[in-house]
Chains A and B, each alone.
Chain A
């Protein structure tokens, strides 16, 4: 089957009556899962699998992937309205989303977030479609040496996130790297920093850490400061005002198509790299949006570009993450592993056979992501009004409910009481960091990328010896990293000079 033929057949199947209803149900289901903190796309897919045994392949894929694709959209809404990332990948959205809500622009942020998600996902899916002829080569591009250098490059974005106070950012990032060391080391089989606790043997789980740092910390703040989530805004917005804000947000997102394009590219590229996941992609895109913005100083205080950049990236990851699954039947993430086993249940061949003989199935996936996100955008817009009304509630009413939901989310990942303690502990850490002006984003980037940097450095030296950095591709990437760092260092020094001159 040719690619064009597959494209048309895939599209017709995706919108056919046998498939589309499942896509719709899946997308709505994913949206709701996303709104609930702690429940992720991985979880949504695992819940859907038992239904697949009695389903047709096209319908099953649409159901499963539809549920997975809208999770980030639901999670973005929770991040904006409740300062609680619905899923790990929405943590970056919160940095500017919740200040916007405090400024009375919550619905606008939501409109922009939903639209950016849709556009980002469409970009990622389209990139996957365009790469199909060379997909196998693209996937094999990333070995341990390349991943090491790329993860290191991503790590240097910490410098951008905390330009105003580089010392504090570095402290936060290094703390993140240290936290990544906790657990059983794959290489030496030694337990590190586990304090003899069996629960720490597998390291810190990402979801409770994110929920603690961002959600629980916000709850503390709300509890300490009193009032409601809407801050100084006393009366909630009228339905009409909310609607007009949503539309304005959507238009703002479309206006910034160039930013969306760049952040989606970051997301798609990070999706291609196995094992990085979408949380760092959103933060890197956030850093990029800040780096290139004309109004850097308003980031963190409610700049819509921060919301658009991170939401575009976290959904663009999908297209990239599908690549190795489609090209070789080798899953790049835990969600993709579930997708792969689901394809098996549905009786589909994966890997090269799928590319040559069933390319229409690949296009069903691609169109499912696009259409699913469109449904998520429209469906999400209907959730904005009820959610934004809730934010007007007094903190003393809202905090206990949200804390209960957040702790349940932390518990649900591994059914572990210990993880609730982790969420609480990181809530305290997150609150202190926010009060003392340390970057929580830098800590999270350090935490997530610490694994990737360390493991791939070890593998690269084992496979290619200590001079692996001088192989052509890693060398090129390393030069880019150094150039990026040099530019940032220079601009920090220059910035300091200006400040000093102003002072003088």
Chain B
């Protein structure tokens, strides 16, 4: 199968290598045989697409990019080079994408919900406009789950719902996604759990759970899976309006909204929270890119994300694909950015750590 793929990978790695060592963008067109191509397909044939990943090599965003790149090559006829631009909580790479040439040869992944929030909050360094990007589609939107350690003695959401500060839950940096999830749900469901933030990474949070320092944490469903399978942790609450097919016994935060002091407000907060999560991890090109090329690339991404071989890899490596089309993405972004004023204020205060 993979003779050509390995050669392709080897070439790509060789290039990343060169980039890293000499900071040169050496180019070497890839020869391809086949019927003559027209339009955008002819344009991309043998070109190099630069794919900006706003996080370091080895992280989740990077892994997704490197997993999908060979398939994007297959459907565009271009060579796809991954360019890691970490920094400023993912904003550096996205700023770079926003200001890149609109020739359709630079694409980028982004951490959707965080970027929407940073822009809404007017955070320094958010020098992009999420609504102005041209979206090619979404790779995945993680379901968020509230997971607790079974050693804590608690087994369900009801157990801790009305508990106060004695239940400690962990979070990474102030304004990070684990922190925002925790304070937003605290606020929506009238909870007063003690949120301990400042852990270096979600791994350190997990370690604190294992030691019994904290009861639980918010996180993505994928990252919670291992410990749940081993019977150490339990998922007690999930995001999403309906229960996910894989989590039929776990209540959603929405189900709990009715039992709060102000169900209408709870629903409004949770709806906004949900629409932020729906942004997930989209792939975009700079504003003003030629519509024909945008259409060609989004079709290629669509085909790549439905390629059986990719889906098999995604499944076996535990990286779910949850594709949304370019059209769907536009709608999702619009919904996420149009928040009721009081709710927007609430989220801004949450990411600024004022809740």
Inter-chain contact A408/B213, CB cutoff 8 Å = no
Tell me, in angstroms, the Cα distance from A188 to B352 when the chains sit together.
Answer: 9
Inter-chain contact B9/A334, CB cutoff 8 Å = no
Tell me, in angstroms, the Cα distance from A49 to B60 when the chains sit together.
Answer: 13
Tell me, in angstroms, the Cα distance from A480 to B30 when the chains sit together.
Answer: 63
Inter-chain contact B58/A49, CB cutoff 8 Å = yes
Tell me, in angstroms, the Cα distance from A239 to B125 when the chains sit together.
Answer: 56
Judge if B230 is at the interface, Cβ distance under 8 Å.
yes
Tell me, in angstroms, the Cα distance from A302 to B230 when the chains sit together.
Answer: 52
Judge if A47 is at the interface, Cβ distance under 8 Å.
yes
Residue of A nearest to B200 (CB): A275
Residue of B nearest to A36 (CB): B21
A residues less than 8 Å from B337 (CB atoms): none
Tell me, in angstroms, the Cα distance from A54 to B313 when the chains sit together.
Answer: 11
Specify which of A143, A330, A345, A351 is in contact with B213 (CB 8 Å cutoff).
Answer: A143
Task: Report the minimum CB–CB distance from B4 to chain A (whole Å).
Answer: 12
Binds B, one of A284-292, A370-378, A412-420: A412-420
Judge if B42 is at the interface, Cβ distance under 8 Å.
no
Inter-chain contact A337/B226, CB cutoff 8 Å = no
Task: Report the minimum CB–CB distance from A196 to chain B (whole Å).
Answer: 8
Contact residues of A between 184 and 199, Cβ < 8 Å to B: 184, 186-189, 191, 198-199
Task: Report the minimum CB–CB distance from B196 to chain A (whole Å).
Answer: 5
Judge if A247 is at the interface, Cβ distance under 8 Å.
no
Judge if A7 is at the interface, Cβ distance under 8 Å.
no
Task: Report the minimum CB–CB distance from B86 to chain A (whole Å).
Answer: 6
Tell me, in angstroms, the Cα distance from A46 to B318 when the chains sit together.
Answer: 19
B residues less than 8 Å from A43 (CB atoms): 20, 57
Tell me, in angstroms, the Cα distance from A140 to B20 when the chains sit together.
Answer: 37
Tell me, in angstroms, the Cα distance from A416 to B88 when the chains sit together.
Answer: 12
* Count class of interface residues, chain B: 35 or more
Inter-chain contact A199/B87, CB cutoff 8 Å = yes
Residue of B nearest to A45 (CB): B58
A263-284 CB contact bits vs B (8 Å, 1 = yes)?
A: 0000000000011000000000
Judge if B172 is at the interface, Cβ distance under 8 Å.
yes
Tell me, in angstroms, the Cα distance from A144 to B175 when the chains sit together.
Answer: 21
A residues less than 8 Å from B23 (CB atoms): 408, 411-412, 415
With A186-B198, A347-B316 as contacts: A198 and B168 at CB distance below 8 Å: no
Judge if B37 is at the interface, Cβ distance under 8 Å.
no
Inter-chain contact A202/B88, CB cutoff 8 Å = yes
Judge if B16 is at the interface, Cβ distance under 8 Å.
yes
Inter-chain contact B9/A50, CB cutoff 8 Å = yes
Tell me, in angstroms, the Cα distance from A412 to B56 when the chains sit together.
Answer: 11
With A53-B313, A338-B58 as contacts: A189 and B175 at CB distance below 8 Å: yes
B208-245 CB contact bits vs A (8 Å, 1 = yes)?
A: 10110110000000000011001000000000000000
Binds B, one of A152-160, A307-315, A436-444, A456-464: A456-464
Judge if A329 is at the interface, Cβ distance under 8 Å.
yes
A residues less than 8 Å from B198 (CB atoms): 186-187, 455, 458-459, 462
Inter-chain contact A198/B92, CB cutoff 8 Å = yes
Inter-chain contact B230/A352, CB cutoff 8 Å = yes
Inter-chain contact A186/B174, CB cutoff 8 Å = yes
Judge if A332 is at the interface, Cβ distance under 8 Å.
yes
Inter-chain contact A415/B199, CB cutoff 8 Å = no
Tell me, in angstroms, the Cα distance from A334 to B86 when the chains sit together.
Answer: 14
B residues less than 8 Å from A51 (CB atoms): 6, 9, 13
Inter-chain contact A328/B207, CB cutoff 8 Å = yes
Judge if A344 is at the interface, Cβ distance under 8 Å.
yes
With A50-B12, A54-B2 as contacts: A330 and B196 at CB distance below 8 Å: no
Tell me, in angstroms, the Cα distance from A455 to B205 when the chains sit together.
Answer: 13
Task: Report the minimum CB–CB distance from A110 to chain B (whole Å).
Answer: 23
Judge if B317 is at the interface, Cβ distance under 8 Å.
yes
With A188-B353, A198-B124 as contacts: A328 and B206 at CB distance below 8 Å: yes
Task: Report the minimum CB–CB distance from B92 to chain A (whole Å).
Answer: 7
Judge if A350 is at the interface, Cβ distance under 8 Å.
yes
Task: Report the minimum CB–CB distance from A423 to chain B (whole Å).
Answer: 14
Tell me, in angstroms, the Cα distance from A331 to B203 when the chains sit together.
Answer: 6
Inter-chain contact A202/B317, CB cutoff 8 Å = no
Tell me, in angstroms, the Cα distance from A408 to B18 when the chains sit together.
Answer: 11
Judge if A243 is at the interface, Cβ distance under 8 Å.
no
B residues less than 8 Å from A334 (CB atoms): 56, 58
With A189-B175, A337-B59, A344-B317 as contacts: A330 and B203 at CB distance below 8 Å: yes
B residues less than 8 Å from A458 (CB atoms): 198
Residue of A nearest to B82 (CB): A50
Task: Report the minimum CB–CB distance from A79 to chain B (whole Å).
Answer: 19
Judge if A105 is at the interface, Cβ distance under 8 Å.
no
B302-346 CB contact bits vs A (8 Å, 1 = yes)?
A: 000000000001001110000000000000000000000000000
B291-303 CB contact bits vs A (8 Å, 1 = yes)?
A: 0000000000000
Contact residues of A between 330 and 369, Cβ < 8 Å to B: 330-332, 334, 337-338, 341, 344-345, 347, 350-353
A residues less than 8 Å from B63 (CB atoms): 49, 341
A residues less than 8 Å from B88 (CB atoms): 198, 201-202
Judge if B47 is at the interface, Cβ distance under 8 Å.
no
B59-72 CB contact bits vs A (8 Å, 1 = yes)?
A: 11011001000000
B residues less than 8 Å from A399 (CB atoms): none
Specify which of A54, A330, A416 is in contact with B87 (CB 8 Å cutoff).
Answer: A416
With A186-B172, A330-B203, A462-B196 as contacts: A39 and B20 at CB distance below 8 Å: yes
Inter-chain contact B57/A46, CB cutoff 8 Å = yes
Tell me, in angstroms, the Cα distance from A334 to B62 when the chains sit together.
Answer: 13
Tell me, in angstroms, the Cα distance from A75 to B20 when the chains sit together.
Answer: 17
Judge if B173 is at the interface, Cβ distance under 8 Å.
yes
Judge if A42 is at the interface, Cβ distance under 8 Å.
yes
B residues less than 8 Å from A324 (CB atoms): 207
Among B58, B173, B207, B318, chain A packs the most CB atoms within 10 A around the CB of B58
Tell me, in angstroms, the Cα distance from A345 to B67 when the chains sit together.
Answer: 10
Contact residues of B between 152 and 176, Cβ < 8 Å to A: 168, 172-175
Inter-chain contact A189/B174, CB cutoff 8 Å = yes
A236-277 CB contact bits vs B (8 Å, 1 = yes)?
A: 000000000000000000000000000000000000001100
A54-74 CB contact bits vs B (8 Å, 1 = yes)?
A: 100000000000000000000
Contact residues of B between 14 and 30, Cβ < 8 Å to A: 16-17, 20-23
Inter-chain contact A459/B85, CB cutoff 8 Å = no
Tell me, in angstroms, the Cα distance from A415 to B81 when the chains sit together.
Answer: 14
Residue of B nearest to A187 (CB): B198
Judge if B84 is at the interface, Cβ distance under 8 Å.
yes
Residue of B nearest to A199 (CB): B87
Inter-chain contact A189/B22, CB cutoff 8 Å = no
Judge if B101 is at the interface, Cβ distance under 8 Å.
no
Judge if B197 is at the interface, Cβ distance under 8 Å.
yes
B residues less than 8 Å from A415 (CB atoms): 23, 83-85
Judge if B204 is at the interface, Cβ distance under 8 Å.
yes
Inter-chain contact A330/B58, CB cutoff 8 Å = no
Specify which of B85, B196, B207 is in contact with A463 (CB 8 Å cutoff).
Answer: B196
A sample of 24 inter-chain contacts (CB < 8 A) reads A39-B21, A42-B57, A46-B57, A47-B13, A47-B17, A50-B9, A50-B12, A50-B13, A50-B66, A144-B208, A186-B173, A186-B197, A188-B174, A198-B91, A198-B92, A274-B203, A331-B203, A338-B57, A344-B318, A350-B226, A415-B84, A459-B198, A463-B168, A463-B214
3 closest A-B pairs (Cβ-Cβ)?
A46-B57, A338-B58, A189-B174
